[in-house]
Structure 1
Amino acid sequence: MTTTLRHHGRTALVTGGSRGIGRGICLRLAREGALVAVHYGHDRAAAERTVKEIETEGGRAFAVHAELGVPGDADTLWAAFDRELAASGAVPGLDVLVNNAGITLPRTVADVTEEEYDRVFAVNTRAPFFIIQRALGRLRDGGSIVSISSGAARIAYPAIVAYTMSKGALDTLTLSLAKELGPRGITVNTVAPGFTETEINPTLQNPQVRQALSAASVFGRLGTPADIADIVSFVASDEARWVTGQWIDATGGVHLGL
Protein backbone atom coordinates (compact mmCIF):
# COMPACT_ATOMS: atom_id res chain seq x y z
CA MET A 1 0.00 0.00 0.00
CA THR A 2 1.36 3.40 -0.94
CA THR A 3 2.06 5.94 1.77
CA THR A 4 2.01 9.02 -0.44
CA LEU A 5 -0.73 11.09 -2.02
CA ARG A 6 1.35 12.06 -5.04
CA HIS A 7 -1.80 12.61 -7.13
CA HIS A 8 -3.76 14.63 -4.60
CA GLY A 9 -5.97 17.24 -6.26
CA ARG A 10 -5.46 15.79 -9.72
CA THR A 11 -7.99 14.35 -12.17
CA ALA A 12 -7.20 11.24 -14.21
CA LEU A 13 -8.92 9.35 -17.00
CA VAL A 14 -8.09 5.68 -17.61
CA THR A 15 -9.49 4.09 -20.74
CA GLY A 16 -10.47 0.47 -20.31
CA GLY A 17 -10.42 1.09 -16.59
CA SER A 18 -13.08 -1.36 -15.46
CA ARG A 19 -11.06 -4.58 -15.52
CA GLY A 20 -7.57 -6.05 -15.63
CA ILE A 21 -4.59 -3.71 -15.81
CA GLY A 22 -6.85 -0.69 -16.26
CA ARG A 23 -8.69 -1.47 -13.05
CA GLY A 24 -5.38 -1.79 -11.21
CA ILE A 25 -4.29 1.60 -12.52
CA CYS A 26 -7.57 3.21 -11.45
CA LEU A 27 -7.28 1.81 -7.94
CA ARG A 28 -3.68 2.95 -7.57
CA LEU A 29 -4.25 6.50 -8.83
CA ALA A 30 -7.28 6.86 -6.58
CA ARG A 31 -5.36 5.60 -3.54
CA GLU A 32 -2.82 8.30 -4.23
CA GLY A 33 -5.42 11.04 -4.22
CA ALA A 34 -6.64 11.40 -7.81
CA LEU A 35 -10.24 11.78 -8.89
CA VAL A 36 -10.44 8.94 -11.41
CA ALA A 37 -12.67 8.64 -14.46
CA VAL A 38 -13.11 4.90 -15.07
CA HIS A 39 -13.82 4.45 -18.77
CA TYR A 40 -15.58 1.34 -20.06
CA GLY A 41 -16.79 0.23 -23.43
CA HIS A 42 -19.27 -2.56 -22.71
CA ASP A 43 -19.12 -3.83 -19.12
CA ARG A 44 -20.97 -1.22 -17.10
CA ALA A 45 -21.25 -3.50 -14.08
CA ALA A 46 -17.47 -3.95 -13.92
CA ALA A 47 -16.94 -0.19 -14.14
CA GLU A 48 -19.44 0.42 -11.36
CA ARG A 49 -17.71 -2.21 -9.21
CA THR A 50 -14.39 -0.46 -9.72
CA VAL A 51 -15.89 2.90 -8.80
CA LYS A 52 -17.52 1.37 -5.72
CA GLU A 53 -14.25 -0.22 -4.62
CA ILE A 54 -12.47 3.11 -4.93
CA GLU A 55 -15.18 4.88 -2.95
CA THR A 56 -15.16 2.17 -0.27
CA GLU A 57 -11.44 2.82 0.20
CA GLY A 58 -12.14 6.53 0.62
CA GLY A 59 -11.26 7.61 -2.91
CA ARG A 60 -13.21 9.43 -5.60
CA ALA A 61 -14.21 8.09 -9.00
CA PHE A 62 -16.91 8.06 -11.62
CA ALA A 63 -17.64 5.87 -14.64
CA VAL A 64 -17.47 7.07 -18.25
CA HIS A 65 -18.99 5.10 -21.12
CA ALA A 66 -17.88 5.19 -24.75
CA GLU A 67 -17.42 2.35 -27.21
CA LEU A 68 -14.01 2.67 -28.86
CA GLY A 69 -13.19 1.76 -32.43
CA VAL A 70 -16.33 3.31 -33.89
CA PRO A 71 -16.85 6.69 -35.59
CA GLY A 72 -17.04 9.56 -33.11
CA ASP A 73 -15.67 7.51 -30.23
CA ALA A 74 -13.33 10.24 -28.94
CA ASP A 75 -16.05 12.89 -29.00
CA THR A 76 -18.44 10.53 -27.21
CA LEU A 77 -15.86 9.79 -24.53
CA TRP A 78 -15.00 13.41 -23.84
CA ALA A 79 -18.64 14.50 -23.79
CA ALA A 80 -19.32 11.84 -21.15
CA PHE A 81 -16.19 12.84 -19.22
CA ASP A 82 -17.11 16.53 -19.17
CA ARG A 83 -20.66 15.71 -18.08
CA GLU A 84 -19.67 13.36 -15.26
CA LEU A 85 -16.83 15.59 -14.10
CA ALA A 86 -19.25 18.51 -13.76
CA ALA A 87 -21.72 16.29 -11.91
CA SER A 88 -18.97 15.37 -9.43
CA GLY A 89 -18.45 19.04 -8.61
CA ALA A 90 -14.84 19.03 -9.78
CA VAL A 91 -13.25 21.83 -11.76
CA PRO A 92 -13.00 21.23 -15.52
CA GLY A 93 -9.79 19.83 -16.92
CA LEU A 94 -7.51 16.82 -16.76
CA ASP A 95 -4.08 16.07 -15.33
CA VAL A 96 -3.44 12.43 -16.25
CA LEU A 97 -4.56 10.52 -19.33
CA VAL A 98 -3.86 6.79 -19.43
CA ASN A 99 -4.50 5.11 -22.78
CA ASN A 100 -5.00 1.55 -21.61
CA ALA A 101 -7.97 0.18 -23.58
CA GLY A 102 -7.04 -2.32 -26.25
CA ILE A 103 -7.94 -5.58 -27.90
CA THR A 104 -5.75 -8.44 -29.09
CA LEU A 105 -5.98 -10.68 -32.12
CA PRO A 106 -4.54 -14.22 -31.83
CA ARG A 107 -3.77 -14.69 -35.53
CA THR A 108 -0.61 -15.11 -37.56
CA VAL A 109 -0.20 -12.90 -40.63
CA ALA A 110 -1.69 -15.52 -42.97
CA ASP A 111 -4.94 -15.69 -41.01
CA VAL A 112 -5.72 -12.03 -40.30
CA THR A 113 -8.69 -10.70 -42.26
CA GLU A 114 -8.95 -7.10 -43.41
CA GLU A 115 -11.91 -6.57 -41.08
CA GLU A 116 -9.98 -7.92 -38.08
CA TYR A 117 -6.94 -5.81 -38.94
CA ASP A 118 -9.03 -2.66 -39.22
CA ARG A 119 -10.77 -3.41 -35.92
CA VAL A 120 -7.50 -3.85 -34.00
CA PHE A 121 -6.09 -0.59 -35.34
CA ALA A 122 -9.37 1.26 -34.78
CA VAL A 123 -9.35 0.39 -31.06
CA ASN A 124 -5.62 0.25 -30.29
CA THR A 125 -4.25 3.06 -32.45
CA ARG A 126 -6.91 5.30 -33.97
CA ALA A 127 -8.95 5.69 -30.77
CA PRO A 128 -6.05 6.80 -28.54
CA PHE A 129 -4.79 9.15 -31.26
CA PHE A 130 -8.04 11.09 -31.38
CA ILE A 131 -8.66 10.76 -27.65
CA ILE A 132 -5.33 12.51 -27.13
CA GLN A 133 -6.13 15.07 -29.83
CA ARG A 134 -9.39 16.01 -28.08
CA ALA A 135 -7.64 15.94 -24.68
CA LEU A 136 -5.08 18.64 -25.48
CA GLY A 137 -7.42 21.50 -24.66
CA ARG A 138 -8.43 19.85 -21.39
CA LEU A 139 -5.00 18.68 -20.25
CA ARG A 140 -3.41 21.07 -17.81
CA ASP A 141 0.21 22.18 -18.14
CA GLY A 142 2.42 19.89 -16.08
CA GLY A 143 0.14 16.94 -16.77
CA SER A 144 0.94 13.51 -18.10
CA ILE A 145 -0.03 11.11 -20.87
CA VAL A 146 0.76 7.42 -20.41
CA SER A 147 0.04 4.83 -23.08
CA ILE A 148 -0.03 1.12 -22.35
CA SER A 149 1.82 -0.78 -25.04
CA SER A 150 3.22 -4.31 -24.89
CA GLY A 151 6.58 -5.98 -24.57
CA ALA A 152 5.57 -7.85 -27.72
CA ALA A 153 6.01 -4.62 -29.68
CA ARG A 154 9.79 -5.15 -29.39
CA ILE A 155 9.96 -8.94 -29.24
CA ALA A 156 9.15 -11.08 -32.26
CA TYR A 157 5.72 -12.55 -31.54
CA PRO A 158 4.16 -13.80 -34.81
CA ALA A 159 1.04 -15.19 -33.12
CA ILE A 160 -0.35 -11.69 -32.52
CA VAL A 161 1.29 -9.75 -35.34
CA ALA A 162 -1.52 -7.24 -36.04
CA TYR A 163 -1.78 -6.43 -32.33
CA THR A 164 1.96 -5.82 -32.02
CA MET A 165 1.88 -3.57 -35.09
CA SER A 166 -0.88 -1.47 -33.53
CA LYS A 167 1.13 -1.07 -30.34
CA GLY A 168 4.25 -0.17 -32.28
CA ALA A 169 2.37 2.74 -33.84
CA LEU A 170 1.33 3.91 -30.39
CA ASP A 171 4.96 3.79 -29.28
CA THR A 172 5.92 6.10 -32.14
CA LEU A 173 3.14 8.50 -31.20
CA THR A 174 4.70 8.82 -27.74
CA LEU A 175 7.93 10.17 -29.22
CA SER A 176 6.25 12.88 -31.30
CA LEU A 177 3.92 13.96 -28.51
CA ALA A 178 6.72 14.18 -25.96
CA LYS A 179 8.57 16.65 -28.17
CA GLU A 180 5.47 18.67 -29.02
CA LEU A 181 4.12 18.91 -25.49
CA GLY A 182 7.41 19.39 -23.69
CA PRO A 183 7.11 23.21 -23.65
CA ARG A 184 3.91 22.81 -21.62
CA GLY A 185 5.64 20.61 -19.05
CA ILE A 186 3.52 17.63 -20.10
CA THR A 187 5.29 14.28 -20.00
CA VAL A 188 4.41 11.54 -22.48
CA ASN A 189 5.58 7.98 -21.93
CA THR A 190 4.80 4.40 -22.82
CA VAL A 191 4.62 1.53 -20.31
CA ALA A 192 4.92 -1.92 -21.86
CA PRO A 193 3.69 -4.89 -19.81
CA GLY A 194 4.67 -8.48 -20.45
CA PHE A 195 2.68 -11.57 -19.54
CA THR A 196 0.24 -10.31 -16.94
CA GLU A 197 -2.31 -12.22 -14.89
CA THR A 198 -5.80 -10.80 -15.23
CA GLU A 199 -9.27 -12.24 -14.89
CA ILE A 200 -9.92 -11.66 -18.59
CA ASN A 201 -7.06 -13.84 -19.90
CA PRO A 202 -8.50 -17.37 -20.31
CA THR A 203 -5.25 -18.89 -21.60
CA LEU A 204 -3.76 -18.58 -18.11
CA GLN A 205 -6.15 -21.25 -16.85
CA ASN A 206 -3.95 -23.82 -18.60
CA PRO A 207 -1.19 -24.92 -16.16
CA GLN A 208 1.29 -25.57 -18.97
CA VAL A 209 0.72 -22.12 -20.44
CA ARG A 210 1.07 -20.48 -17.03
CA GLN A 211 4.34 -22.27 -16.41
CA ALA A 212 5.79 -21.36 -19.80
CA LEU A 213 4.82 -17.70 -19.56
CA SER A 214 6.00 -17.43 -15.96
CA ALA A 215 9.37 -18.90 -16.96
CA ALA A 216 9.85 -16.16 -19.56
CA SER A 217 10.40 -13.63 -16.75
CA VAL A 218 13.62 -13.58 -14.76
CA PHE A 219 11.43 -13.53 -11.66
CA GLY A 220 9.74 -16.78 -12.62
CA ARG A 221 6.20 -15.48 -12.30
CA LEU A 222 3.48 -13.66 -14.18
CA GLY A 223 3.04 -9.94 -13.75
CA THR A 224 0.06 -8.54 -11.87
CA PRO A 225 -2.06 -5.46 -12.56
CA ALA A 226 -0.54 -3.90 -9.43
CA ASP A 227 2.97 -4.34 -10.87
CA ILE A 228 1.98 -2.27 -13.89
CA ALA A 229 -0.14 0.23 -11.93
CA ASP A 230 2.79 1.10 -9.65
CA ILE A 231 4.91 2.02 -12.66
CA VAL A 232 2.14 4.03 -14.32
CA SER A 233 1.49 5.97 -11.12
CA PHE A 234 5.13 6.99 -10.86
CA VAL A 235 5.48 7.91 -14.54
CA ALA A 236 2.30 10.00 -14.35
CA SER A 237 3.49 11.86 -11.25
CA ASP A 238 5.57 14.99 -10.74
CA GLU A 239 8.34 12.74 -9.46
CA ALA A 240 8.88 11.68 -13.08
CA ARG A 241 8.76 15.23 -14.45
CA TRP A 242 12.21 14.75 -16.09
CA VAL A 243 11.20 11.52 -17.85
CA THR A 244 9.46 11.86 -21.20
CA GLY A 245 9.39 10.17 -24.60
CA GLN A 246 10.37 6.86 -23.02
CA TRP A 247 9.35 3.25 -23.66
CA ILE A 248 9.42 1.64 -20.22
CA ASP A 249 9.85 -2.12 -20.15
CA ALA A 250 7.43 -3.55 -17.57
CA THR A 251 7.78 -7.19 -18.59
CA GLY A 252 9.62 -8.50 -15.54
CA GLY A 253 12.73 -9.05 -17.60
CA VAL A 254 11.19 -11.23 -20.28
CA HIS A 255 13.81 -12.69 -22.62
CA LEU A 256 16.77 -10.96 -20.98
CA GLY A 257 20.00 -12.44 -22.26
CA LEU A 258 18.47 -14.11 -25.30
Structure 2
Amino acid sequence: MPRPTLTYPKTAANKVIRYASNAAYETTTIHSIVASVPVVHVSSVAPGDPPLPTILPMIGALGSFENPSAGLDEALDLYIHGYVSARLFRGREAAGFPVCVAATIVDGLVLALTPYSHSYNYRSAVLHGTATPVTDSEEKLYAMKLVTEHVLPGRWAGSRVPPLKAELDSTGILKVKITSASAKVRTGPPNDAKADLEDGDVTKRVWTGVVPTWTAYGEPVPTGTVDRVPEYVRDAAEGRTKAGKKTAEEAVLKAPAKV
Protein backbone atom coordinates (compact mmCIF):
# COMPACT_ATOMS: atom_id res chain seq x y z
CA MET A 1 0.00 0.00 0.00
CA PRO A 2 1.54 3.35 -1.04
CA ARG A 3 2.55 5.71 1.72
CA PRO A 4 0.60 9.00 1.88
CA THR A 5 2.43 12.04 0.57
CA LEU A 6 3.87 14.12 3.41
CA THR A 7 3.42 17.86 3.01
CA TYR A 8 4.22 20.98 4.98
CA PRO A 9 1.06 22.81 6.09
CA LYS A 10 0.36 26.14 4.44
CA THR A 11 0.91 29.02 6.82
CA ALA A 12 1.18 32.79 6.55
CA ALA A 13 4.94 32.31 6.45
CA ASN A 14 5.25 29.77 3.64
CA LYS A 15 2.17 30.17 1.45
CA VAL A 16 3.14 31.17 -2.10
CA ILE A 17 0.99 34.07 -3.28
CA ARG A 18 2.28 35.06 -6.72
CA TYR A 19 1.95 32.32 -9.33
CA ALA A 20 0.65 29.92 -6.72
CA SER A 21 0.28 27.25 -9.42
CA ASN A 22 4.07 26.91 -9.40
CA ALA A 23 4.14 26.22 -5.67
CA ALA A 24 4.80 22.87 -4.00
CA TYR A 25 4.51 21.88 -0.37
CA GLU A 26 5.46 18.19 -0.59
CA THR A 27 8.50 17.19 1.44
CA THR A 28 9.98 15.28 -1.50
CA THR A 29 10.05 18.34 -3.75
CA ILE A 30 11.28 20.73 -1.09
CA HIS A 31 13.89 18.41 0.40
CA SER A 32 15.25 17.39 -3.01
CA ILE A 33 15.98 21.05 -3.85
CA VAL A 34 17.79 21.64 -0.54
CA ALA A 35 19.69 18.37 -0.95
CA SER A 36 20.89 19.40 -4.43
CA VAL A 37 22.54 22.74 -3.61
CA PRO A 38 26.12 23.05 -2.32
CA VAL A 39 25.25 26.19 -0.32
CA VAL A 40 22.14 27.40 1.48
CA HIS A 41 21.51 30.97 2.59
CA VAL A 42 20.57 31.29 6.25
CA SER A 43 18.76 34.40 7.50
CA SER A 44 18.49 35.35 11.17
CA VAL A 45 18.70 38.33 13.48
CA ALA A 46 22.15 38.50 15.04
CA PRO A 47 22.39 39.33 18.75
CA GLY A 48 23.73 42.80 19.39
CA ASP A 49 22.83 46.40 19.97
CA PRO A 50 21.05 47.03 17.75
CA PRO A 51 20.11 43.50 16.59
CA LEU A 52 20.73 43.28 12.86
CA PRO A 53 19.36 40.90 10.23
CA THR A 54 22.03 38.78 8.55
CA ILE A 55 22.10 36.42 5.57
CA LEU A 56 24.96 33.95 5.47
CA PRO A 57 25.95 31.37 2.82
CA MET A 58 26.54 28.08 4.65
CA ILE A 59 26.78 24.34 4.10
CA GLY A 60 23.60 22.58 5.17
CA ALA A 61 22.54 18.94 4.98
CA LEU A 62 19.20 17.26 5.63
CA GLY A 63 18.94 14.28 7.93
CA SER A 64 17.34 12.71 10.98
CA PHE A 65 19.47 11.67 13.93
CA GLU A 66 16.50 9.80 15.40
CA ASN A 67 15.76 8.06 12.07
CA PRO A 68 18.99 7.95 10.03
CA SER A 69 17.41 5.94 7.21
CA ALA A 70 14.68 8.54 6.58
CA GLY A 71 14.25 9.52 2.93
CA LEU A 72 13.53 12.87 1.33
CA ASP A 73 9.80 12.13 1.53
CA GLU A 74 9.90 11.99 5.33
CA ALA A 75 10.33 14.48 8.17
CA LEU A 76 13.93 15.76 8.26
CA ASP A 77 15.99 18.36 10.10
CA LEU A 78 18.55 20.67 8.52
CA TYR A 79 22.04 20.58 10.00
CA ILE A 80 24.13 23.72 9.43
CA HIS A 81 27.90 23.62 9.72
CA GLY A 82 30.19 26.44 10.78
CA TYR A 83 32.97 27.60 13.08
CA VAL A 84 31.98 27.61 16.74
CA SER A 85 32.92 31.30 17.13
CA ALA A 86 31.18 32.48 13.97
CA ARG A 87 28.52 35.15 14.29
CA LEU A 88 25.63 32.77 13.75
CA PHE A 89 26.84 30.53 16.59
CA ARG A 90 27.82 33.15 19.18
CA GLY A 91 25.52 34.00 22.07
CA ARG A 92 22.85 31.51 21.11
CA GLU A 93 20.72 29.95 23.81
CA ALA A 94 19.86 26.28 23.94
CA ALA A 95 16.20 27.23 23.52
CA GLY A 96 16.95 28.11 19.92
CA PHE A 97 16.25 31.03 17.62
CA PRO A 98 14.19 31.53 14.45
CA VAL A 99 15.83 31.19 11.05
CA CYS A 100 14.81 31.27 7.41
CA VAL A 101 16.79 29.16 4.92
CA ALA A 102 16.71 29.53 1.14
CA ALA A 103 17.97 27.24 -1.63
CA THR A 104 17.85 27.98 -5.37
CA ILE A 105 18.81 26.10 -8.53
CA VAL A 106 18.71 27.74 -11.97
CA ASP A 107 17.94 25.22 -14.71
CA GLY A 108 17.76 27.55 -17.70
CA LEU A 109 17.68 31.07 -19.13
CA VAL A 110 14.22 31.62 -20.58
CA LEU A 111 14.52 34.11 -23.45
CA ALA A 112 11.18 35.50 -24.58
CA LEU A 113 10.03 37.97 -27.23
CA THR A 114 10.18 40.93 -24.83
CA PRO A 115 12.40 41.68 -21.82
CA TYR A 116 9.26 41.75 -19.65
CA SER A 117 8.58 38.07 -20.35
CA HIS A 118 12.12 36.81 -19.79
CA SER A 119 12.57 34.42 -16.88
CA TYR A 120 14.53 31.48 -15.50
CA ASN A 121 13.63 27.85 -15.29
CA TYR A 122 14.34 27.32 -11.62
CA ARG A 123 13.70 25.34 -8.45
CA SER A 124 13.63 27.22 -5.18
CA ALA A 125 12.78 26.31 -1.59
CA VAL A 126 12.32 28.37 1.55
CA LEU A 127 12.36 26.83 5.02
CA HIS A 128 11.32 28.36 8.34
CA GLY A 129 12.29 26.82 11.63
CA THR A 130 14.07 27.00 14.95
CA ALA A 131 17.85 26.52 15.12
CA THR A 132 19.48 25.07 18.23
CA PRO A 133 23.15 24.30 18.90
CA VAL A 134 24.00 20.59 18.78
CA THR A 135 25.87 19.67 21.96
CA ASP A 136 25.43 15.89 22.09
CA SER A 137 28.72 14.36 20.90
CA GLU A 138 27.10 11.49 18.98
CA GLU A 139 24.67 13.76 17.18
CA LYS A 140 27.45 16.22 16.39
CA LEU A 141 29.53 13.46 14.85
CA TYR A 142 26.46 12.29 12.90
CA ALA A 143 25.92 15.82 11.59
CA MET A 144 29.58 16.26 10.60
CA LYS A 145 29.46 13.05 8.61
CA LEU A 146 26.15 14.10 7.06
CA VAL A 147 27.58 17.44 5.95
CA THR A 148 30.77 15.84 4.61
CA GLU A 149 28.77 13.31 2.59
CA HIS A 150 26.61 16.16 1.30
CA VAL A 151 29.71 17.87 -0.07
CA LEU A 152 30.86 14.67 -1.79
CA PRO A 153 29.40 11.19 -1.25
CA GLY A 154 32.04 8.78 0.02
CA ARG A 155 34.35 11.50 1.32
CA TRP A 156 33.88 10.74 5.04
CA ALA A 157 35.33 7.23 4.75
CA GLY A 158 37.85 8.49 2.18
CA SER A 159 39.42 10.99 4.58
CA ARG A 160 41.16 10.91 7.97
CA VAL A 161 38.41 10.09 10.47
CA PRO A 162 37.19 10.31 13.15
CA PRO A 163 37.85 14.01 13.78
CA LEU A 164 40.14 14.97 16.63
CA LYS A 165 38.59 16.35 19.82
CA ALA A 166 40.02 19.80 19.00
CA GLU A 167 38.31 19.64 15.59
CA LEU A 168 35.00 18.64 17.16
CA ASP A 169 35.25 21.39 19.75
CA SER A 170 35.95 24.10 17.15
CA THR A 171 33.12 23.02 14.88
CA GLY A 172 29.67 24.49 15.41
CA ILE A 173 26.55 22.61 14.33
CA LEU A 174 23.05 24.06 14.33
CA LYS A 175 20.04 21.82 14.03
CA VAL A 176 17.06 23.45 12.35
CA LYS A 177 13.68 21.97 13.22
CA ILE A 178 11.66 22.84 10.14
CA THR A 179 8.22 24.18 11.02
CA SER A 180 7.08 25.33 7.57
CA ALA A 181 8.43 25.21 4.05
CA SER A 182 7.45 25.66 0.43
CA ALA A 183 8.98 25.34 -3.00
CA LYS A 184 8.46 27.18 -6.26
CA VAL A 185 9.36 25.60 -9.58
CA ARG A 186 9.27 26.96 -13.13
CA THR A 187 9.69 24.81 -16.22
CA GLY A 188 8.99 25.07 -19.92
CA PRO A 189 9.51 27.57 -22.74
CA PRO A 190 8.83 31.33 -22.65
CA ASN A 191 5.34 32.47 -21.74
CA ASP A 192 4.85 35.26 -24.27
CA ALA A 193 1.86 37.56 -24.42
CA LYS A 194 -0.73 36.80 -27.09
CA ALA A 195 -0.29 40.22 -28.70
CA ASP A 196 3.44 39.61 -29.17
CA LEU A 197 2.89 36.11 -30.57
CA GLU A 198 0.47 37.57 -33.12
CA ASP A 199 2.89 40.34 -34.15
CA GLY A 200 4.58 38.94 -37.26
CA ASP A 201 7.30 41.58 -37.26
CA VAL A 202 8.34 40.62 -33.74
CA THR A 203 8.16 36.84 -34.18
CA LYS A 204 10.19 36.97 -37.42
CA ARG A 205 13.14 38.92 -36.01
CA VAL A 206 13.35 37.89 -32.34
CA TRP A 207 14.82 34.51 -31.36
CA THR A 208 13.17 32.84 -28.40
CA GLY A 209 14.15 29.75 -26.50
CA VAL A 210 15.77 28.35 -23.40
CA VAL A 211 19.47 28.04 -22.60
CA PRO A 212 19.75 25.08 -20.18
CA THR A 213 22.13 25.68 -17.27
CA TRP A 214 23.65 23.35 -14.72
CA THR A 215 26.70 23.01 -12.48
CA ALA A 216 29.52 21.17 -14.23
CA TYR A 217 32.15 19.37 -12.15
CA GLY A 218 35.59 19.40 -13.76
CA GLU A 219 38.33 16.80 -13.88
CA PRO A 220 39.65 16.21 -10.31
CA VAL A 221 43.15 17.69 -9.84
CA PRO A 222 45.46 15.90 -7.34
CA THR A 223 47.31 18.20 -4.94
CA GLY A 224 48.88 15.73 -2.49
CA THR A 225 51.05 12.65 -2.58
CA VAL A 226 48.27 10.40 -3.94
CA ASP A 227 47.96 10.94 -7.67
CA ARG A 228 45.31 8.36 -8.50
CA VAL A 229 41.84 9.88 -8.23
CA PRO A 230 39.53 7.64 -6.14
CA GLU A 231 36.57 6.20 -8.01
CA TYR A 232 34.07 7.71 -5.57
CA VAL A 233 35.42 11.21 -6.33
CA ARG A 234 35.26 10.71 -10.09
CA ASP A 235 31.86 9.00 -9.94
CA ALA A 236 30.33 11.75 -7.79
CA ALA A 237 31.66 14.53 -10.03
CA GLU A 238 30.52 12.85 -13.25
CA GLY A 239 27.21 11.76 -11.75
CA ARG A 240 26.29 15.22 -10.52
CA THR A 241 27.20 16.84 -13.84
CA LYS A 242 25.10 14.36 -15.81
CA ALA A 243 22.16 14.65 -13.42
CA GLY A 244 22.20 18.45 -13.58
CA LYS A 245 22.36 18.43 -17.38
CA LYS A 246 19.49 15.94 -17.62
CA THR A 247 17.27 17.94 -15.26
CA ALA A 248 17.97 21.23 -17.04
CA GLU A 249 17.26 19.81 -20.50
CA GLU A 250 14.11 18.04 -19.34
CA ALA A 251 12.83 21.26 -17.77
CA VAL A 252 12.67 22.86 -21.23
CA LEU A 253 10.26 20.20 -22.45
CA LYS A 254 7.90 20.24 -19.49
CA ALA A 255 4.58 22.06 -19.58
CA PRO A 256 4.93 25.84 -19.66
CA ALA A 257 4.82 27.58 -16.31
CA LYS A 258 4.28 31.20 -15.35
CA VAL A 259 7.31 33.31 -14.44
TM-score normalised according to structure 2 size: 0.23
Structure showing the higher helix proportion among its residues: 1
Higher relative contact order (CA 8 A, sep 6+): 2
TM-score normalised according to structure 1 size: 0.23
